[in-house]
Structures are given as C-alpha cells and as structure tokens.
Amino acid sequence: MGKARKRTGRALALAAGVLAAGVAAAPAVAQPASLSGTVTPNVAHGNPAPAGAYPFAVKFTMTGIPKPDGTTYDSACSGALVSRQWVVTAAHCFHDVNKKPVSGPPQYKKTTATLGKVDLADKGGHVLDVVDVRQYPNSDVALAKLASPVTDITPIRLARTAPVTGATLRLAGWGATSADGAPATHMQYGDVTVTKRTQYTVLVEGAKPSSDTSACSYDSGAPYFRRTATGPVLVSVESDGPGCPHTGAETTSRIDTIASWIDRNDR
C-alpha cells in the first residue's frame, strides 16, 4: 500500500512501541500491503495487542487513490470510533488528487474501516465502507462516516480538558512495523509521554516499551488515549513525525479543543 509519513501515509509501526495505519498528504510510495492475517511475531520493542483489546481502534484501507498523472495507488490510516457511525482520524488521510484534504465521499475507488478485532485473520468485528468525510478547518483532524452504525462496540470518550505535560498516553493501531514496511496485520500498542502542547497539537515522545517507541508509516489518525477507571479517553490522534523508530517528538492533533466540533458533526 502507499506509504508515507510526514503528513503522508502512516501506520503505527511503533517500531519501538507501535501501532498501525495511515495515509498522507505528501507523495505516497506504492507498496504492496500484507493482508494475509499473519501476525508479526516481535515488533521491535513493541507489544502485539491481546485478544479483545481496544475494539474502538480502526484500520482504514484505501484503494484506488488517484494521482495527477492518472495512475492510482493504495494506502492506509488509523482512527478511533467516537460514536456509533463516526470515526475520528487525520484530515490528510482523505484528500483529492492534489493531496488537498477534502470533505464529502472519499475520492478513492474504495475505503473500508476494520474494527472490533486485533488481527485481520480473526473472526467477528466489522469491515464497513466509509461513505462521507468532514474536515476540521484548523487542525489535522477529520471525521469519517461508516456505512452503518456499530452497536456492539463502545465508542471511545473524548477528552474535555487539556493534556498535562508528563502524562502517559497509549497509542494503539495498525500499520508498518518499520519505516519501509507494509501495514501490519495485527494491532500493536505502546506508551508515550506528553512533552508539550499548543492550541491544536500535543507533542509526545516514546516511553514504553522503549524510548524510541513511535508511530510509523500508515499510521496517520491513530488514537492516543488516557486509560482511566471508567474506560479510555481520546486525547489526540497521530499527525506527523520523523522517520520511525525515533526518540524525538511526535506531533499529534489535540482533541479537547475541538471536542464540541466533533459533537456537532458525529451524528
């Protein structure tokens, strides 16, 4: 599948702590995606998600993405179910032929969302078409509408307060497990630490299982969340960063400052 990282395809390959899936705004490199269902045995310093973990985490699969020369490529992104029929992800995952993020039905041949499983070979879960997209105007965030409501998975709650510097967040998703790899077929996860925030972003750095735990190709839109006694709370989604794995800052898009916009649009 097409990959990219800097505002391009991303897929959590926490090469050190890890996850998966993402498209992008920069040119994506055409690459075959592995959809065999084989579990990558040991993601570098990462953790394969155990059965039943993070059912709200979404793997987007995009096929037939148009290029200006008339050819197409395939890619992937991650996201998180925030209501019965809507998934939050990165804005740059859904764009036109010129890589400009756009609202409306995806301009690709087909886009599907997989959720409710930790491995593509698992039975159950859901694979649903994406039928509409709504772009937030000032941040790298979009909402993707599923073809039908999901009633057996609890959507993740949205953060309503600012993230605290030093807080630990968990990243979970689908995607490459190395900078040049294809999207993973088994969900991965890892922990990061909040190092800074701006009006629309949260910067994070790898924490566990390694200091270079980081998002990777095909990972755009992957959820970063707080774990609480009453369930996970979505703090931000993957946006941009250096090549993976890395020990520097990763840029994620903040949720609490746009939660009211999500509330108005995810219905």
pLDDT digits (tens, 9 = 90+) for 10-58: 333 333 333 333 333 332 222 323 222 322 222 234 689 999 999 999 9
Q: Where are the alpha helices (DSSP H) in 118-189?
A: none
Is the backbone peptide bond immediately before 209 cis, with ω within 30 degrees of 0? yes
Query: pLDDT, tens digit, for every residue of 214-252?
Result: 898 888 999 999 999 999 999 999 999 888 888 889 999
| % pLDDT > 70, the chain | 83
Instruction: Encode burial over 198-220: b for 16+ CB neighbours within 10 A, e otherwise.
Output: eebbbbbbbbbbbbbbbbbbbbb
Q: Which residues contact 73 (CB under 8 A, 6 or more apart)?
A: 1, 2, 28, 30, 65, 67
Query: In sequence order, what are the beta bridge partners of 63?
Result: 110
Question: What is the gyration radius of the CA atoms in the chain, in angstroms?
Answer: 16
Q: Token pair for residue 9?
A: 């395809």
Kind of pairing between the strands at 233-240 and 157-158? parallel
pLDDT of residue 28: 27
Helix (H) or strand (E) run with residue 115 in it: strand 110-115
Dihedral over Cα of 78, 244, 203, 195: its sign: positive
For residues 1-7, give the mean pLDDT.
40
Partners of 127 in the β-ladder? 114
Q: Which domains does the chain have, with CATH numbers?
A: 1-33+41-267 (2.40.10.120)
Q: Which two tokens stand for residue 40?
A: 């990558």
